[in-house]
Amino acid sequence: MLKKALLLLAAALICLSSFSKGKKEITVVFYNVENLFDTINHPDKLDNDFTPMGKLNWDTRRYNDKLSKLSYVLSSINKEVLPEIIGLCEIENKDVIEDLINGERLKKGKYQIVHNESPDKRGIDCALIYKKGEFKYLKHETINIEFPWEKEYKTRDILYVQGLVGRKDTLNIFVNHWPSRRGGQEKSEPNRVFVAKQLRKAVNTIQAKNPFAKIIIMGDFNDEPTDKAVIETLKANNDRNTNNPMGLFNLMYDLQANNEGSYNYKGEWNMLDNLIVSNSLLNESRGYQTAHNSGRIYRNKWICFKNKKGVLTPNKTYGGTKYYGGFSDHFPVFFKLKK
């Protein structure tokens, strides 16, 4: 009887040790996966190019190859453990996310999906995937964007997801894909400023209820940390005075200052993919937190293309209509939360 009790106790301690170890560190990733479309023509979307008969000759072989390459990237960010929380943009629908997470490299993560169809005319959306054992989903909603001066212009919704890490730490996560720079950065800037206002309003609502709320904002902003929409409207900066828990800190700000970027346009680096946290995640003495310098760009050589000048840039799937068979035109960005 005593032997049996000791065996049960030992088993319980092993399980508890494993559980605690798994909860000590959470990796948060954002990845613009560059037009992850299926091969089906959906009449309500402008996706005809991404079909076997379209001008991009997007067929099953190319689709499966891209899925394999994206899963390889995501599974390589951590050497030992798959990332716990991953934000995605430029995905067409829930089906392509399911194909991604059910591939050989990611299926062991048993990822769950949070996704809503957005009104974007091309059909691209934002999504969040998470490991069920590491993040407990509570709720989600979308912030729909309607421009008063251009009502026919439909862009991506902002996806808001609330969940728990550990037993008590609530995370409020916003996944973004702001309007492009079509027509030039200056001409298109009002669109991104407007989106930033809607996001800031949502953040204010959360912080009015709880000034110490832990907030993560991730996404392809099509703007850099020092651009107006990010630093003035959203009020995310690199101010290390974290006495105000409601402030927002951009983990990618200093990387941009060092001329690093997640996207390369005509030889120039742009930090379009931002990771922003509330100050409460920087100075909270209990639960999960991160450091000012925790923002990272994942740019292993094998996901890069070496241009004529020898510079390593993201190896993209397409350049115009030319098929390169790469991974994405963006590098993934990530940071770690630690207990």
Average pLDDT, the chain: 91
Look at residue 60 and tell me if it is in a domain: yes
Using an 8 Å Cβ cutoff, are 299 and 331 in contact?
Answer: yes
Instruction: Name the phi and psi angles at 98, rounded to 5.
Output: -60, -40
d(C-alpha 1, C-alpha 24), whole Å: 35
pLDDT at residue 208 above 80?
yes
Using an 8 Å Cβ cutoff, are 145 and 158 in contact?
Answer: yes
* pLDDT-derived band at 323, boundaries 50, 70, 90: very high
Using an 8 Å Cβ cutoff, are 56 and 64 in contact?
Answer: no
pLDDT at residue 9 above 70?
no
pLDDT at residue 22 above 60?
no
Look at residue 17 and tell me if it is in a domain: no
pLDDT at residue 8 above 50?
no
pLDDT at residue 126 above 60?
yes
Look at residue 91 and tell me if it is in a domain: yes
Question: For position 21, what pLDDT does the model report?
Answer: 42
* pLDDT-derived band at 173, boundaries 50, 70, 90: very high
* pLDDT-derived band at 6, boundaries 50, 70, 90: very low
Tens of pLDDT, residue by residue over 237-276, are 999 877 888 999 999 999 999 999 999 998 899 999 999 9
Question: For position 196, what pLDDT does the model report?
Answer: 98
Range of the domain at 43: 24-338
Return the CATH number at 112. 3.60.10.10
Look at residue 1 and tell me if it is in a domain: no
Question: For position 151, what pLDDT does the model report?
Answer: 85
d(C-alpha 38, C-alpha 153), whole Å: 24
Report which of 211, 313, 200 is spatially closest to residue 265, judged by C-alpha positions. 313
* Mean pLDDT of the region 24-42: 96
Tens of pLDDT, residue by residue over 50-103, are 999 999 999 999 999 999 999 999 999 998 899 999 999 999 999 999 999 999
Note the pTM of the prediction, 2 decimals: 0.92
- DSSP assigned state of 330: B
d(C-alpha 17, C-alpha 181), whole Å: 49
Kindly list the distances between the CA atom of residue 122 and the CA atoms of 56, 117, 327, in Å, as whole numbers in the listed order: 15, 11, 20
H/E segment holding residue 23: helix 2-23
pLDDT at residue 339 above 80?
yes
Question: For position 23, what pLDDT does the model report?
Answer: 52
Question: For position 18, what pLDDT does the model report?
Answer: 38
* pLDDT-derived band at 286, boundaries 50, 70, 90: confident
Look at residue 14 and tell me if it is in a domain: no
pLDDT at residue 19 above 70?
no
* Mean pLDDT of the region 204-224: 97
Kindly state the percentage of the chain with pLDDT values over 90: 81
Higher pLDDT, 243 or 158: 158
Look at residue 5 and tell me if it is in a domain: no
* Mean pLDDT of the region 286-298: 94
Q: How many domains does the chain have?
A: 1
Look at residue 318 and tell me if it is in a domain: yes
Look at residue 327 and tell me if it is in a domain: yes
Dihedral angle computed from the Cα positions of residues 159, 100, 106 and 336, in that order, rounded to the nearest 10 degrees: -30
